[in-house]
Amino acid sequence: MKKIIVTPRSLTKDGDPALDLLTDEGFEIEFSTPGSMPQEDELIRLLPGCVGYLAGVEPITAAVLEAATDLKVISRNGTGINSIDLQAAQRLNIEIMRAEGANARGVAELTLGVILGLIRSIPFSDACLKREKWERRKGLELQGRALGLIGCGKIGQLVCQLALAFGMEVLAYDPFPDRNFSPGPSFRFADLEEVLANSEIISFHCPEQTDGRPILDRKELNRLKPGVYVVNTARASLIDETAILEALHDGRVAGLALDVFGYEPPDATPLLSDDRVIVTPHIGGFTSESVSRATLAAVENLLKFFRGLTS
């Protein structure tokens, strides 16, 4: 029987009805360790004999791909493929497929949630009261505030629509802007420099740069408005961690929200203990609806691929 390995933590722990479509088609499913991100040694052990791979965000190295001697296709349950050694996959003729846009709503709603958490100091207030301390920080209102989007694809567009409903002004930078997206007079596309310089809240919704360098480094942080808020639910490499820590300490950045890290779980860092920083464990697409959509899309991509081989 042909085997497909399934590794996303949400699926190895809880399963999903969409996986039945694979078994109905005659595939055997091989799960990695339930609820854990598989490491290289586990993948090297499990992948031989697997023709398909329904993958999460775990690193898929050249060594892993070279051990996967029967592998034909990797189907991600999301859009990001930066964790895959794409050169090795191309060399070994392994197809890469993505579940584009499946988790967009979950990520967009989390983005608005952490923006509200930052400007109203919700986690700080909660933590103080639970320590029996009555301490308040004056907040801000979103109406009339300028939101800068770095990336305006499916997720960025949803964030924009939610922000406009709060009465915000939205500037968006995208290297390939969708000119058909025109949600109202309070939105416009702009170049990166203008977005960074004129936004009171900046949110990232783009892939990492091809060279892996951050978009928001020390130089760009110096261009920002004093007291800006920064949100990153996209890729950890987009922000220079050392530089933004400095900007938090001297007040140039008023607050930061992170849902993504270079290593997950992250190593100990001052960001994790700073009460002006909201950190979440990569939960942007971790909603019942997003997981279901992404799983179904990833499964359908696998079926499409293998049906294409036999047609």
Find the catalytic residue in 235, 241, 276, 293: 235
What would the pLDDT profile of 187-218 be if each residue is shown by its tens digit? 999 999 999 999 999 999 999 998 989 999 99
- The confidence band for 1, taking pLDDT boundaries of 50, 70 and 90, is low
Burial per residue of 139-169, b for 16 or more beta-carbon CB atoms within 10 angstroms, e otherwise: ebebeebbbbbbbbbbbbbbbbebbbeeebb
Q: Is the separation of the CB atoms in 118 and 137 below 8 Å?
A: no
- Percent of the chain past pLDDT 70, that is, above it, reads 99
Does the active-site annotation cover 282? yes
Amino acid at position 148, single letter: G
What would the pLDDT profile of 8-42 be if each residue is shown by its tens digit? 998 999 899 999 999 999 999 999 999 999 999 99
**Helix or strand (DSSP H, E) at 14:** helix 9-14
Q: Residue 210: its pLDDT value, please?
A: 85
Does the active-site annotation cover 205? no
Find the catalytic residue in 28, 135, 264, 289: 264
Does the active-site annotation cover 249? no
CA 214/CA 208 separation, integer angstroms:
8
Set out the domains of the chain in order of their start, with CATH numbers: 3-102+288-310 (3.40.50.720), 104-279 (3.40.50.720)
Indicate the DSSP class of residue 216: B
Q: Residue 122: its pLDDT value, please?
A: 98
Residue appearing with tokens 């499990």:
46
Is it the case that residue 311 has pLDDT exceeding 90? Answer: no
What would the pLDDT profile of 83-136 be if each residue is shown by its tens digit? 999 999 999 999 999 999 999 999 999 999 999 999 999 999 999 999 999 999
Is it the case that residue 183 has pLDDT exceeding 80? Answer: yes
| Centroid of chain to Cα 230 | 15
Amino acid at position 205, single letter: H
Q: Is the separation of the CB atoms in 99 and 302 below 8 Å?
A: no
**Which pTM value belongs to this model?**
0.91
Question: Which of 140, 190, 181, 145 minimizes the C-alpha distance to 163?
Answer: 145
